[in-house]
C-alpha cells in the first residue's frame, strides 16, 4: 500500500484580522490526490483559511502552524509559496488595468517555474488549456479581469491553475456566480489537476460536487471545523442547512 | 513682439504655477542663447522639407523664445497609405531647438521619438489636420535623464477630422509640456492620452489646453502619471467650450499612481464652459499601489518588485486605452516595455 503524500498540514491554527479573532484552533491534513471541501455559513472563516495559507499580509497567525509539504509556511513570502506550488483561486480576483492576460500568464508561468518559457511551447500549452475551458483566444489581449463577467473571472482563475500545475489548489468559492455550463467547465479544470495535487475547495453549494467528487467534506462554524464526513455530508447540508449542527454543538 | 518685449509670466497662471519660466529657461530669463538645431531623421513613408517660419499668434513667451532661438522649421509630409512614419528628433549640445510642422492632409500615423544628451532641448510641433482626416500622432520622450525639455505643441483640427494624440514621457530631468488643440470646424474629435513615468528627481509638467471654438466637437483627455522616488508630476488641463459651441462632448480624467512616500503629483482639471447644451466632465484621483493587486500578482509567483513593475506598466498602458489606432498603440507599448525592463534591471 502506498503511503499518502502529505501536501498540507494545519495544526491548531488561530488567526486574527486586526483585533478580531477569526480562526480558533483549526486542524486539517490534505494529502496529494485528495479533494477536501469546506462548507459553512458566511463569515465562518473559510476564506480566511485560504488567505492565510496563501500568505495574505492582513491576517496574523496567533497560534498554531501550517506546513506545506513538510515545510513551515511562515518561512515563505507570498510569491515563494506560489513558486513552491500553492495556488489560490480567488473569490474576488483583482483587476489589473493595462496588463494583458497573455502577458500576465506568461510572466506568471515563468515566475513559478523559475525558467524562461519558450514562446511556441507556451502557446501550445496555453491553447490546450484554453480549449479545455472553452475559452476564446481574444481574452488574451484583454486586461486582467478588467470588465470581465463573474464567470469569465472564474474561468481565468482556473486557466491559471491549469498552467501553473500546483501541488496545492485552494479554490475559494470558484463556483459562485457560474451558470450551469460554466460550472461544468470549471469542474473539468479542477478534475484535471486533482489527481496530482491536494485540493481544498471552499463552496456554499452541493451543485459543484455533482461534478467534482470530494473525498472529504468539512463543516466550518465560527472558525473551527466542527464536523467531517464524506460526500453525503454535503447533501445533508444542502437539505437541512447548518442549524442542526448548532444543536449538535450544544448537545456536545 | 520679440522675446525681449515679453514680461516673465506670472505664477498665478496654471500654466506657470508649478514650473515657472525661470525654472525651465536654459540660462537666465533675459537671455536667448544660441541654439544648435535638433537633428531630424524620418523613416519610410515620410518626407521632410525646410519650410518658412510660421507667424506667431498671440504672444507666448515659450513659443517666442523657441522661434528666436532657432527660427528654422521643417515640414513633415506623409505618403498616402504609408505605414507608421517614425521621426527621430535628436537633441545634442548645450541647447538644442527644433520646430516640426506636420502637414496632416491625409490619413497617417506619426510617432516622434525624442532623444539625445542635450542639456536643454526645445521642441515646437505644429499641425493642421485637414477636413475628414484621421490622424494619429505620438511623441515618445526618451531624452537623457539629465536634460531639460521645453515642448510646445499647437494643433488645429478641421471638419469631421479624427485626431489621436499620445505622449509617453520617460526621459528628461525637468520637462515642461504645453500642448494646445483648437477645433476650427464641427464634426471633429480629439482623443488625447498622456502617460508619465516619474523616477529619481524627475519633474514633469503637462499643461493641456483643448479649445472647442465650434459646436459638435468631441474631446477626451486621459493623463496617467506613475511617480516613484522623489519625482513630481503635474497635469493641468484647460478645457474651453465657446458660447455658441453647443453639442460638444468633452471629458478629462487624471490619475496618479504614487509609488513612494516622497513622490508627488498634482492633477488640476479646469473647465470653462460657456455653452448650455454640452456634456463636460472631469475627474482626478491619486492612490498608492493597491495591496490587493500586489497580493494577487505575488500569489502568481511574481516577487514584490516584479509585481509593482507590472502594475506600473499596466497603469501606464491603461493611460492609452482610449486610443484605438493599433499602430500607434503598438509603438507606444514597445517603447514603454523596453524602458520599464531597463528600469527593472537597474
List the beta bridge partners of residue B258.
Answer: B227, B288
A203/B contact by beta carbon, under 8 A: no
List the beta bridge partners of residue B88.
Answer: B41, B113
The neighbour count for residue A184, using CB atoms within 10 Å, is 14
| pLDDT at residue number B277 | 95
Res B77 pLDDT > 60: yes
Res B201 pLDDT > 60: yes
Burial class (CB in 10 A: 0-12, 13-18, 19+), A165: middle
Alpha-carbon distance A248 to B208, whole Å?
Answer: 69
Structural domains of chain A ordered from first start? 1-31+47-74 (no CATH), 85-210 (3.40.50.300)
Alpha-carbon distance B182 to B158, whole Å?
Answer: 9
Enter the C-alpha cell of residue A62: 496567533
Ranges assigned E (strand) in chain A: 6-17, 20-31, 35-40, 59-68, 71-72, 86-89, 96-100, 143-144, 168-172, 198-202, 216-221, 224-229
Which residues, in sequence order, are CB contacts of B52 under 8 Å at separation 6+? B73
CB B3 within 8 A of CB B68: yes
Alpha-carbon distance B251 to A196, whole Å?
Answer: 52
| pLDDT at residue number B82 | 81
Burial class (CB in 10 A: 0-12, 13-18, 19+), A159: buried
| pLDDT at residue number A93 | 97
Which candidate in A52, A86, A94, A115 is best for mutational testing of the B interface (most B CBs within 10 A)? A94
Q: Per-residue pLDDT tens for B213-225?
A: 999 999 999 999 9
Enter the C-alpha cell of residue B71: 527660427
Res B243 pLDDT > 70: yes
| pLDDT at residue number B345 | 64
Which candidate in A92, A96, A106, A162 is best for mutational testing of the B interface (most B CBs within 10 A)? A96
The alpha carbon of B288 is separated from its chain's Cα centroid by a whole number of angstroms, namely 24
Q: Per-residue pLDDT tens for B126-163?
A: 999 999 999 999 999 999 999 999 999 999 999 999 99
Task: Please give the average per-residue pLDDT across B245-249, as a whole number.
Answer: 97
Calculate how close chain A gets to B290, using CA atoms only, in Å. Answer: 10
Write out residues in chain A with pLDDT < 70, as ranges.
Answer: 1-2, 247-252
Q: Per-residue pLDDT tens for B298-310?
A: 999 999 999 999 9
Q: Where are the domains of chain B?
A: 3-289
Cβ within 8 Å, pair A96-B296 = yes
Cβ within 8 Å, pair A79-B298 = yes
Amino acid at each position: 500500500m502506498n503511503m499518502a503524500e502529505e501536501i498540507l498540514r494545519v495544526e491548531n491554527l488561530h488567526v486574527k484580522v486586526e483585533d478580531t479573532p477569526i480562526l480558533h484552533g483549526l486542524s486539517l491534513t490534505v494529502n496529494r490526490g485528495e479533494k477536501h471541501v469546506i462548507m459553512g455559513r458566511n463569515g465562518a472563516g473559510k476564506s480566511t483559511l485560504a488567505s492565510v495559507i496563501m500568505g495574505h499580509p492582513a491576517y496574523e497567525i496567533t497560534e498554531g502552524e501550517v506546513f506545506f509539504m513538510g515545510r513551515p509556511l511562515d518561512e515563505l513570502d507570498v510569491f515563494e509559496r506560489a513558486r513552491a506550488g500553492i495556488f489560490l483561486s480567488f473569490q474576488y480576483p483583482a483587476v489589473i488595468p493595462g496588463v494583458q492576460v497573455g502577458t500576465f500568464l506568461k510572466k506568471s508561468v515563468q515566475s513559478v517555474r523559475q525558467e524562461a518559457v519558450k514562446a511556441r511551447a507556451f502557446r501550445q500549452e496555453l491553447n490546450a488549456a484554453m480549449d479545455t475551458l472553452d475559452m476564446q483566444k481574444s481574452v488574451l489581449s484583454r486586461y486582467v479581469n478588467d470588465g470581465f463577467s463573474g464567470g469569465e473571472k472564474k474561468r481565468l482563475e482556473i486557466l491559471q491553475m491549469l498552467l501553473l500545475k500546483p501541488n496545492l489548489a485552494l479554490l475559494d468559492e470558484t463556483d459562485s456566480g457560474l451558470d450551469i455550463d460554466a460550472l461544468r467547465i470549471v469542474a473539468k479544470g479542477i478534475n484535471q489537476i486533482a489527481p496530482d495535487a491536494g485540493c481544498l475547495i471552499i463552496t456554499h453549494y452541493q451543485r459543484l460536487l455533482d461534478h467534482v467528487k470530494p473525498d472529504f467534506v468539512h463543516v466550518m462554524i465560527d472558525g473551527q471545523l466542527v464536523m467531517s464526513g464524506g460526500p453525503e455530508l454535503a447533501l445533508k447540508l444542502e437539505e437541512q442547512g447548518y442549524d442542526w449542527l448548532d444543536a449538535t454543538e450544544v448537545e456536545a | 513682439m520679440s522675446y525681449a518685449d515679453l514680461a516673465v509670466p506670472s505664477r498665478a497662471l496654471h500654466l506657470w504655477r508649478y514650473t515657472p519660466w525661470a525654472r525651465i529657461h536654459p540660462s537666465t530669463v533675459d537671455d536667448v542663447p544660441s541654439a544648435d538645431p535638433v537633428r531630424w531623421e524620418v523613416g519610410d513613408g515620410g518626407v521632410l522639407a525646410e519650410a518658412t517660419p510660421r507667424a506667431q499668434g498671440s504672444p507666448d513667451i515659450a513659443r517666442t523664445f523657441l522661434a528666436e532661438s532657432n527660427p528654422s522649421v521643417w515640414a513633415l509630409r506623409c505618403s498616402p497609405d504609408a505605414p507608421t512614419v517614425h521621426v527621430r528628433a535628436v537633441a545634442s549640445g548645450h541647447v538644442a531647438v527644433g520646430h516640426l510642422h506636420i502637414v496632416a492632409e491625409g490619413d497617417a500615423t506619426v510617432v516622434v521619438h525624442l532623444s539625445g544628451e542635450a542639456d536643454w532641448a526645445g521642441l515646437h510641433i505644429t499641425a493642421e489636420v485637414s477636413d475628414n482626416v484621421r490622424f494619429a500622432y505620438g511623441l515618445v520622450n526618451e531624452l537623457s535623464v539629465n536634460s531639460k525639455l521645453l515642448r510646445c505643441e499647437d494643433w488645429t483640427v478641421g471638419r469631421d477630422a479624427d485626431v489621436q494624440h499620445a505622449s509617453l514621457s520617460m526621459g528628461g530631468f525637468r520637462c515642461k509640456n504645453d500642448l494646445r488643440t483648437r477645433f476650427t470646424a464641427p464634426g471633429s474629435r480629439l482623443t488625447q492620452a498622456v502617460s508619465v513615468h516619474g523616477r529619481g528627481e524627475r519633474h514633469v509638467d503637462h499643461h493641456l489646453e483643448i479649445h472647442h471654438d465650434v459646436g459638435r466637437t468631441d474631446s477626451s483627455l486621459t493623463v496617467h502619471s506613475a511617480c516613484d522616488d522623489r519625482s513630481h508630476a503635474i497635469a493641468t488641463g484647460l478645457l474651453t467650450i465657446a458660447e455658441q459651441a453647443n453639442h460638444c462632448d468633452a471629458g478629462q480624467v487624471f490619475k496618479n499612481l504614487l509609488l513612494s512616500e516622497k513622490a508627488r503629483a498634482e492633477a488640476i482639471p479646469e473647465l470653462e464652459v460657456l455653452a448650455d447644451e454640452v456634456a463636460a466632465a472631469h475627474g482626478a484621483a491619486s492612490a498608492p499601489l493597491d495591496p490587493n493587486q500586489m497580493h494577487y500578482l505575488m500569489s502568481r509567483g511574481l516577487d514584490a518588485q516584479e509585481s509593482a513593475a507590472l502594475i506600473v506598466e499596466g497603469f501606464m498602458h491603461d493611460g492609452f486605452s482610449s486610443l484605438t489606432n493599433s499602430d500607434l498603440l503598438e509603438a507606444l507599448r514597445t517603447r514603454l516595455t523596453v524602458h520599464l525592463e531597463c528600469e527593472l534591471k537597474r
